[in-house]
Structures are given as structure tokens and as C-alpha cells.
Amino acid sequence: MAVETNTDDGRMLLLPQSLDDVRVGGLPPAAFYISDFITETEEQNLLAKIASAPKPRWKQLTHRRLQTWPSDLVNNKLVDAPLPAWLQEPVISRLASVPTSSSPYIFHDSPHSRPNHVLINEYPPGVGIMPHKDGSAYHPVVCTVSLGGSLCLNIHKNKADGTLDQDPVWRILQEPRSLLITSADLYTEYLHGIADITEDIELSDRTIANWSLLRDSSSFEEGRNQRTTRTSLTYRDVMAVTKLGNKFSFLKKR
């Protein structure tokens, strides 16, 4: 069942009444996928805000770049500061409007009852990220909004000897304007990564875990997705937050 939601651009979105209605089947609990979480106008507004960020906000890696809001972690701690308004609305309020069967809000049980940290990654075609875990600094809930292009997120596990199994056990196709939530065992026990390829292949209801939840699976009926630049906004709650010491108090007054 879906619930109509008003947006800032006057359009209507049909959000699920409960995240349980969009649970990704066949995966460890719990993963959820909403194909239309923001509108096209909201997507363009977010991309414009990201593009207009001051140059020092960008961290340039070998093949891609990223922004961290409100700041980087230091010793797994976040300096207490609010997220900018454009990263709060409409995403966080919309997240809060979709409950689960056991909780009124996916971040209800997190230390701050809301995300306080956003990592923005830009993935050009052919560029991914090696399989990894997000680590213990975060509450085990990750909410990712995708902008611009589609790609596959690969879910991996380690072999019995502790080395990485290079073949993913599942693949999740993330479309523009979609929301993917991963939590619990899927967060703590498995690794996730993105292959360094220009085209996702062998896409079907047999190979893509969230196939039945896609906005338009017919777009991939030939089993292929030619990648374009995709930007992801990853929302998490950093568990340890520290306030600026007294010697930095002058910064607060400026």
C-alpha cells in the first residue's frame, strides 16, 4: 500500500505505508528499496547544491571525488554540528515519515534518533569502490539516495579462511532518485562494493535482488545498464559526537 506525499515542487510521491512493503527479499534482514524517493526536480536541486559547494569541500581520490558533511570523523568521532538545510530536507523528514512494523522510524533506536553525517560520492563510468564494511563508528543503518545514474551495488562475504570472496552473493540495482536502506546483519556481517566497470550486465529477476521493486525493470530488459555518472548521498548516525573545546570557542562566535 502506498501513501501520497506532497513535495516542495508541488508534485506527489507515492511512498510505501511501511518499509516492510519494500523489503528486498532473499537478503539477510533487513534491506529496503524505494525506487521513487525524491522527484526529478529535487534530484536536480541536490545535484546543483553539490556542484556549487566550495572547492575545499571536495576530497579528490585517485579516480573519484567526495564530500563529507558536516565534517570528517576524527578518531571515529564527529564534531557536533548540524547538517546544512539542503541535506536535511526533503530526505530526513521523508525518511521519518515511513515506519517499519517494529519502529516508527528507521533511526528511532540510533543514538541521536536521526542521521548526523552525510558522505557524497561521485562515481564516473568505470569507477567503483572496493568491497568494504562501514565500520563501528556508525549505528548499523545506512540510507543511500542515488542521483544521476544507475549502477549495481555488490554484496560480498568472506570465505571460511577470512579472505574476501570476489564473487558477490547478491547484487542490488540502484536507480536515480531511489533510496536503499541496509541495516542489521547486512551492515555488520557483509561487505559492499561497486565494480570498476562501464556497464552492468546479466541483469534479470534471477540476478538482481530488488528486481521486483525497480521503478521500470523494462529499462534493463536486455540485461544491460550503460553507466553514466552517479552521485550517492549516504546518510548515517555517527555514534560518538564531541563538542568543540573551550579553546575553539571563538570559532562558534564568528
pLDDT digits (tens, 9 = 90+) for 20-59: 999 999 998 889 999 999 999 999 999 999 999 999 999 9
CA atoms within 13 A on the CB side of 212: 9
**How far is 130 from 127, CA to CA, in rounded Å?**
10
Model-wide pTM > 0.85: yes
End-to-end CA distance of the chain: 49
Assign 197 a pLDDT band (cuts: 50, 70, 90): very high
pLDDT at residue 6, rounded to an integer: 64
- CA-based nearest residue to 139, from 181, 111, 118: 111
- H/E stretch holding 183 reads strand 179-183
76: β partners: none
151 is written with which cell numbers?
A: 549502477
CB atoms within 10 A of CB 183: 21
Alpha-carbon distances of 135 from 64, 128, 179, rounded to whole Å: 21, 19, 21
pLDDT digits (tens, 9 = 90+) for 68-97: 999 999 999 999 999 999 999 999 999 999
Residues 155/27, Cβ–Cβ less than 8 Å: yes
Q: Hey, which residues does 138 pair with through a beta bridge? A: 238
Q: Which residues pair with 43 in a beta bridge?
A: none
In eight-state DSSP terms, residue 82 is P
Q: What phi and psi, each to the nearest 5 degrees, are found at residue 44?
A: -65, -35
Tell me the domains of the chain and their CATH numbers.
Answer: 15-242 (2.60.120.590)
Torsion of CA 105, 107, 110, 114, to 10 degrees: -120
Whether pLDDT at 247 is above 70: no
| Model pLDDT for residues 156-188, shown as the tens digit of each residue | 999 999 899 999 999 999 999 999 999 999 999
Closest C-alpha to 219, from 35, 12, 6, 19: 35
Which string of DSSP letters, residue by residue, matches 189-234? T-EEEE-S-SEEE--STTT-TTGGG-S-GGGGTTSEEE---EEEEE
**How sure is the predictor about 253, in pLDDT bands with cuts at 50, 70 and 90?**
very low
Q: Which residue has the cell 576530497?
A: 59
Query: Is residue 198's pLDDT more than 90?
Result: yes
Q: How confident is the model at residue 250 (pLDDT cuts 50, 70, 90)?
A: very low
The per-residue pLDDT for 152 is 98
Do residues 122 and 65 touch, judged by C-beta distance below 8 A?
Answer: yes
pLDDT tens by residue, 99-145: 998 899 999 999 999 999 999 999 999 999 999 999 899 999 999 99
Residue that has been written with the C-alpha cell 543503518 in this structure:
141
Helix (H) or strand (E) segment spanning residue 157:
none
In tens, the pLDDT along 135-151 reads: 899 999 999 999 999 99
Provide the CB-side half-sphere exposure for 177 (13 A, CA): 17
Quote the CA–CA distance of 211 and 188 in Å, as a whole number. Answer: 24
Q: What is the mean pLDDT of the chain?
A: 92
| H or E stretch at 95 | helix 91-96
Is the distance from CB of 92 to CB of 214 less than 8 angstroms? no
